[in-house]
Amino acid sequence: MVYENILEAVGNTPLIRLHHMTGEEDAQIFVKFEAVNVGASIKTRTALGMIKAAEREGKITKETIIVEPTSGNQGIGLALIGAVRGYRTIIIMPDSVSEERRKLVRQYGAEVRLIHDAGNIGECIRECMDTALRMAAEDPRIFVPQQFENQNNVRVHYEWTGKEILEQADCKVDGFCSGIGTGGTISGVGKALKEANPKTLIWAVEPEQAAILSGKEVGSHLQMGIGDGLVPKILNQQIYDDIVIITDEEALKTAKDLAAKEGLMCGITGGTNVAAAQKMARKLGKGKTIVTILPDTAERYFSTPLFDEQ
């Protein structure tokens, strides 16, 4: 079988059982390995879903310029789609996200505008958003998908990521946890899982230095892609049962363990999610099944402490 183009190969990622990350009496953990998705992250799904919806709704034409504020992976996904579909794409991102992200966006032929992060990621992301909206107000060719507000982001995870997980786990999911960037993953997958089994326990996961839902101060942290220092409009705050906080150290150590013990090369937030899943595994105990996400690949983090020698 031959795909017409790379976009037809998006999705259908494996769900993989962990063997060395839990104790004898713990629940088992399955991870959705989005590192092997097209574009090497879960965000290719949402980028594609939002652009397809905009095309259907006639919001974009061949002349359209796609402009999006993002802390990284969404920008890589949009740049990839722009390359295939022929849209000029401009990505606005904080200068604190990894250098690899900028390089990848540029390699896909898109442009990058960097906004300085002076130590408060929330303020910086808001500035990225304001810049995108200002550009759109000045140029009618510009379309801003607005992932933090776009319900198609949630829909993609409800209809696609969530459905894949249910099929792969044979609908037997007792717990799910996810960090929150736009909140698309937790709101969409959470809805799909709760509909299949209302008793599924769902935890929102926050970085210690950006635990805004837990009422804490927002600063800088390493768990890039989550903890953007704002409460996203599309986040369904009714969908999760509890919130857990994960430190940068826990996230890094767990991501390193996933590579060295399980052969799963994931990014830092994959470590965040599995660190939270390990806590849930102790709580739910033997016989239960927990699913979480490894949102992207470790190869996006060579320039970060994920690859510091110990």
If the CB atoms of residues 278 and 304 are measured against ligand PMP, the closer one turns out to be 304
**Which DSSP helix (H) or strand (E) runs through 275?**
helix 268-284
Q: Which is nearer to ligand PMP, 64 or 161 (CB)?
A: 161
Which residues, numbered 222-241, are part of the site for ligand PMP (CB under 6 A)? 225-226
Is 26 or 222 the residue whose CB approaches ligand PMP more closely?
222
**Of residues 244-303, which lie at the interface with ligand PMP (CB under 6 A)?**
267, 269, 295-296
Report if residue 49 touches ligand PMP, rule: CB under 6 A. no
Which residue number, 26 or 71, has a Cβ lying nearer to ligand PMP? 71
Indicate which residue of 43, 191, 194, 279 is catalytic.
43
CB of 177 to ligand PMP, least distance (A): 12
Restricting to residues 171-190, name those near ligand PMP by CB under 6 A: 179-185
Work out how close the CB of 74 gets to ligand PMP at its nearest, in angstroms, rounded to a whole number.
6
Residues 6+ apart with CB under 8 A from 294: 31, 32, 33, 34, 35, 258, 264, 266, 267, 270, 273, 274
Let me know if 43 is a catalytic residue.
yes
d(C-alpha 47, C-alpha 83), whole Å: 13
Q: SS3 for 155-216, per residue?
A: HHHHHHHHHHHHHHCCCCCCEEEEECCCCHHHHHHHHHHHHHCCCCEEEEEEECCECCCCCC
Q: Is the CB of residue 301 less than 8 Å from the CB of residue 40?
A: no
CA angle 301, 135, 44 (to 5 degrees): 35
**Shortest separation between residue 212's beta carbon and ligand PMP, angstroms:** 13
Q: From the CB of 73, what's the least distance to ligand PMP, in Å?
A: 3
> Binding residues for ligand PMP, per CB under 6 A?
41, 43, 71-73, 179-185, 225-226, 267, 269, 295-296
Query: Annotated catalytic sites, by residue?
Result: 43
